[in-house]
Structure 1
Amino acid sequence: MEKIRANREAAAGAAIGLTVAAAAATYYVIKRSNSRVRPNGKFPLETLPNDAYDAVIVGAGPSGSTCAHFLASAGARVALLDKETFPRDKYCGDAVCTPGLNILEEMGVLKELVDNNEAHFADSGGFVSPSGLTYIGQSKERLGGAAACAVKRTNLDKRIAWKARHVGAELKEGFEVGKENPTFDKQTGLWMVKSTEGKTVKGRVLVIADGATSKLAMQMGYCTEPPKGVCSRAFIEGGTHNVDFDGVCFYQRESLPGYSAIFRHPNDELNFCYYLIPCGKDGMCGDVSEADLKRLHEGALKSDPFISQAVGPNAKVERMKAAALRLGSQGVPSSYDDHLLIIGDAAGHIDPLTGEGIHTALMGGKAAAQTILDMRAAGDYSKLSTRIYEQRWMKAFGHDFAFSKKGAELIYKYPILLDACANEMQRVGDSMMTKWAEVMTNMRPKTYFLRPDVAIPMGFAIVRELWAQNVSKRPDLYKTGSSL
């Protein structure tokens, strides 16, 4: 009897093992198939008419032009449309983070920017906390390279667009998409895009890359609401200011989780910018709204003790200019559809904590190109294939958006967290500054701050800061008017 029981238990165990193995194998096969473009589609390469493109990209900003570059480099036919003529301006903080710099280097654009003195790599940088704690370090030495680079969008955008044209994309400037939505023919699998002047282009895939306000995504119903964030920009003429650092962020308590920043460009020119990050009540950016941007921007230049003293009384500052920010996929529930992708600012690919979106635009543009090339080879452009693009950008950077949103909420509710970070930087130096720089420039995920080797020292830093503010009554350096 015991032998029979043992045999039954062994058989049951084997059956359970086989079931688990089968389930695991099935899960692996399903997961693997869901992460691949479907083969043997309805529209193999030979079915593309001679007068049509593999992709029609609406918007030749960083995301659209990057997508066009990688497509054209691989032999695809690309129409890259933009309503403006290059060079043209874009209001932005102008900082390109390391992941974006890597892609610019891969495309050969970074060398052109450097050779033409259009890029300045940040060496000395840091931030000022809500209580005025300051740290400016040399994180470049620890990172092995600059965490960010300042490039005017006038120069950045033209260089990428022209590079895309150089490798074979057809850059069609002055092509403004008309009020009528692009039309899609299911039989031929082609989009028809018409300009306000009556010009038309046809393509297998429509790529929407027309910026944060994305008129096209809005009118086609893929975007459900206007952007809720906003940023400002004002250039400061070189030689008229007192700034001796490359990049510093200023976290004024009133505008948290937003912040202002100064970035140094070539020829000693500065970019002063202000970011208002959606947080708290609907329509608000913490305790302020978009309507407060001009007041905050101009007020910081005049009366912020750190900014006003760094800029100096003789600075020649241009008039403030502003632009909308669509952060963390806000208002864009899906970035793909049959024969269609949405990329860059139009898809809300801007970090909800930092407001940075150039590097994510470049990363998303490359992911879109890779997906289109896979679909081109397989002949399938259905949702089952275009969704691979969303999986790719989520893996590259989108997974971090939820943590960025939480981070913004925490900073808004507990400004002492930023004070503690500055406290820890002052205590240990560039090692902490480097960790901060890596997280804020997308080199590491926001969850990096949860690692024991980071979280434990930060916990002690918070305790020290609580003691300093509530027991020792350390003065608020913002209120006492201390400078950098």
Structure 2
Amino acid sequence: MDDYDVIIIGAGPAGSTLATTLEGSGKRVLIVDKQAFPRDKTCAGWVTPAVMESLAIDPQDYGNDRTLQPIRRFRIGMMGQAPVENDHGDIVSYGIRRCEFDHYLLERTHCDKVLGEPVKSIEREGRNWIVNGRWQTPLVVGAGGHFCPVARLLGDGPGGHETVVAAKEVEFEMTPGQAETCKASGDTPELWFCRDLKGYAWIFRKGNYLNIGLGREDNHKLSDHLHHFVDEMKQAGRIPSDLPGRFKGHAYLLYNHAHRPLVDDGVLLIGDAAGLAYTQSGEGIRPAIESALLAAEVIRSAENYSEKSLQPYGAAIAERFGNRAEQHDNGWQLPQWIKTPLAGTLMRSHWFTRKVVTEKWFLHQQVPPLTAAV
């Protein structure tokens, strides 16, 4: 049986960032993921300059042989009414394909990796965890998304009482004919809020790739909402009339509504496994990256991996993202105060959609980037 100081379950952005940040600490790290990489990942797929800075990625270098769509504008509206379009001038975000982005981050790590093998068992033996009967470690880190098996160790895995966001989307490479007729512009993602403000849909073009999806705070009639939106966008010529393939589903927790503990004896959760997606937008890449950076700092300095020794991670998350216990907003994408008859008017305001919806809720421009501790 192989011994490791840390075993990370999940090789997405959170897991790979943690592994990379722990390099040089002297700790032996193993990443395990049920899928081989590169792999498809259901995600609209955009990252802010803050994420690129936190990961020390040079956009020019990354974009040499990968999809990197600069975003300078946003088209925002409420379904059933005309949208507004805001020009931010500078690049405020980048469109990426998760199959490329996640593989790139994983390739930068130099730890041991076991890919294409699902985690079937995590058992406690003394102070160690035995994973799949093959590896043992005093610390197992859950980085496997909403359905991460490590979350079950903390008694709050899938099927709990938390409000889960359900989404469906499709991403495909357009044919020359589709690309020519598609009205969606690469530098201008489109966000369309549901009239009940319980979710939103998006159209996001990344070069010749097109991503279309819709997410809501539950899956009640999710397909009906999606089909209605897609039909409207086809009629308006925003998207091709002949979409290929089927829409794939995924789920995640919003930060304000998640109740999962973040740590226990020998256990720590990061990224979507911890339920860290931004409440106002559902975006999870930046919280995943930052949680990994915060976790790495605590793991480096922890005397042992008891719950008490790991608790500074929970405190760091609360300091960075806010204290869940003090946030009483029951809304999903939007705070309760906007769920009024004024919502339609606000969504027609250039100032509101730019300064509040885009720059504050989606881009978090008011929050400086988090970088790895030296």
The alignment status of 1:243 with 2:188, answered yes or no, reads no
Given that 1:122 and 1:150 are in contact with CA atoms closer than 8 Å, whether structure 2 keeps it comes out as yes
Give the alignment partner of residue 52 of structure 2, picking from 101, 104, 108: 101
1:18 paired residue number:
none
Q: TM-score normalised to the size of structure 2? A: 0.85
Alpha-carbon distance between aligned partners in 2 of 1:403 and 1:121, rounded to the nearest angstrom: 35
Q: TM-score normalised to the size of structure 1? A: 0.67
1:38-187 correspondence runs (5 A): 51-104=2-55, 106=56, 108=57, 113-130=62-79, 132-141=81-90, 145-146=91-92, 148-164=93-109, 168-178=110-120, 180-186=121-127
Deviation at 1:433, TM superposition (A): 1.6
Q: CA separation of 1:85/1:134 partners in 2, compared to 1, >3 Å: closer, same or farther?
A: same
Bigger Rg, structure 1 or 2: 1
1:268-307 correspondence runs (5 A): 268-277=208-217, 285=218, 290-304=219-233
Residues 88-141 of structure 1: CA deviation (Å, up to 9, x unaligned)? 11212212234323223x2x4755531223221211213113562422122143
Letter in 2 for 1:271: N
Alpha-carbon distance between aligned partners in 2 of 1:155 and 1:236, rounded to the nearest angstrom: 14
Deviation at 1:249, TM superposition (A): 0.5
2:277 paired residue number:
350
| Runs of at least 4 residues off by over 6 Å | none
1:6 paired residue number:
none
Given that 2:256 and 2:329 are in contact with CA atoms closer than 8 Å, whether structure 1 keeps it comes out as no
1:259 paired residue number:
200
Alpha-carbon distance between aligned partners in 2 of 1:310 and 1:411, rounded to the nearest angstrom: 34
Letter in 2 for 1:71: L
Q: CA separation of 1:313/1:380 partners in 2, compared to 1, >3 Å: closer, same or farther?
A: closer
Q: CA separation of 1:408/1:434 partners in 2, compared to 1, >3 Å: closer, same or farther?
A: closer
Alpha-carbon distance between aligned partners in 1 of 2:342 and 2:61, rounded to the nearest angstrom: 42
1:413 paired residue number:
339
The alignment status of 1:320 with 2:247, answered yes or no, reads yes
Given that 1:249 and 1:262 are in contact with CA atoms closer than 8 Å, whether structure 2 keeps it comes out as yes
Alpha-carbon distance between aligned partners in 2 of 1:309 and 1:133, rounded to the nearest angstrom: 12
Q: CA separation of 1:299/1:131 partners in 2, compared to 1, >3 Å: closer, same or farther?
A: closer
1:402 paired residue number:
327
Alpha-carbon distance between aligned partners in 1 of 2:58 and 2:252, rounded to the nearest angstrom: 25
Deviation at 1:206, TM superposition (A): 1.0
Alpha-carbon distance between aligned partners in 2 of 1:151 and 1:111, rounded to the nearest angstrom: 13
1:358-397 correspondence runs (5 A): 358-375=285-302, 379-397=303-321
Deviation at 1:60, TM superposition (A): 0.9
Deviation at 1:84, TM superposition (A): 0.9
Deviation at 1:435, TM superposition (A): 4.8
Higher helix share: 1
Letter in 1 for 2:167: C
2:263 paired residue number:
336
Letter in 1 for 2:213: C
Given that 2:76 and 2:347 are in contact with CA atoms closer than 8 Å, whether structure 1 keeps it comes out as no
Deviation at 1:214, TM superposition (A): 2.3
Alpha-carbon distance between aligned partners in 2 of 1:63 and 1:55, rounded to the nearest angstrom: 14
Alpha-carbon distance between aligned partners in 2 of 1:399 and 1:216, rounded to the nearest angstrom: 23
Alpha-carbon distance between aligned partners in 2 of 1:247 and 1:293, rounded to the nearest angstrom: 21
Q: CA separation of 1:312/1:57 partners in 2, compared to 1, >3 Å: closer, same or farther?
A: closer
Given that 1:101 and 1:359 are in contact with CA atoms closer than 8 Å, whether structure 2 keeps it comes out as no
Residues 202-222 of structure 1: CA deviation (Å, up to 9, x unaligned)? 223110112112233225524
Look up the SS of the partner of 2:66 in the other structure.
coil
1:423 paired residue number:
349
1:228 paired residue number:
164
Alpha-carbon distance between aligned partners in 2 of 1:369 and 1:333, rounded to the nearest angstrom: 20
1:471 paired residue number:
none
Letter in 2 for 1:443: Q
1:395-474 correspondence runs (5 A): 395-399=319-323, 402=327, 405-406=330-331, 408-410=334-336, 413-414=339-340, 416-417=342-343, 419-425=345-351, 433-440=354-361, 441-444=363-366
Q: CA separation of 1:299/1:133 partners in 2, compared to 1, >3 Å: closer, same or farther?
A: closer
Unmatched segments (≥5 aa) in structure 1: 1-49, 278-284, 427-431, 446-484
Alpha-carbon distance between aligned partners in 1 of 2:213 and 2:105, rounded to the nearest angstrom: 23
Alpha-carbon distance between aligned partners in 2 of 1:437 and 1:382, rounded to the nearest angstrom: 40
Look up the SS of the partner of 1:311 in the other structure.
coil
Letter in 1 for 2:317: W
Q: Between Structure 1 and Structure 2, how many residues are aligned?
A: 356
Unmatched segments (≥5 aa) in structure 2: 368-374
1:28-43 correspondence runs (5 A): none
Q: CA separation of 1:184/1:97 partners in 2, compared to 1, >3 Å: closer, same or farther?
A: farther
Q: CA separation of 1:415/1:269 partners in 2, compared to 1, >3 Å: closer, same or farther?
A: farther
Look up the SS of the partner of 1:274 in the other structure.
strand
Deviation at 1:250, TM superposition (A): 0.5
Letter in 1 for 2:339: K
Look up the SS of the partner of 1:275 in the other structure.
strand
2:130 paired residue number:
192
Residues 394-434 of structure 1: CA deviation (Å, up to 9, x unaligned)? 222244893764563526732523532532439xxxxx724
Given that 2:154 and 2:260 are in contact with CA atoms closer than 8 Å, whether structure 1 keeps it comes out as no
Given that 1:353 and 1:404 are in contact with CA atoms closer than 8 Å, whether structure 2 keeps it comes out as no
Deviation at 1:352, TM superposition (A): 2.2
Alpha-carbon distance between aligned partners in 1 of 2:30 and 2:119, rounded to the nearest angstrom: 13
Deviation at 1:439, TM superposition (A): 0.9
Given that 1:336 and 1:342 are in contact with CA atoms closer than 8 Å, whether structure 2 keeps it comes out as yes
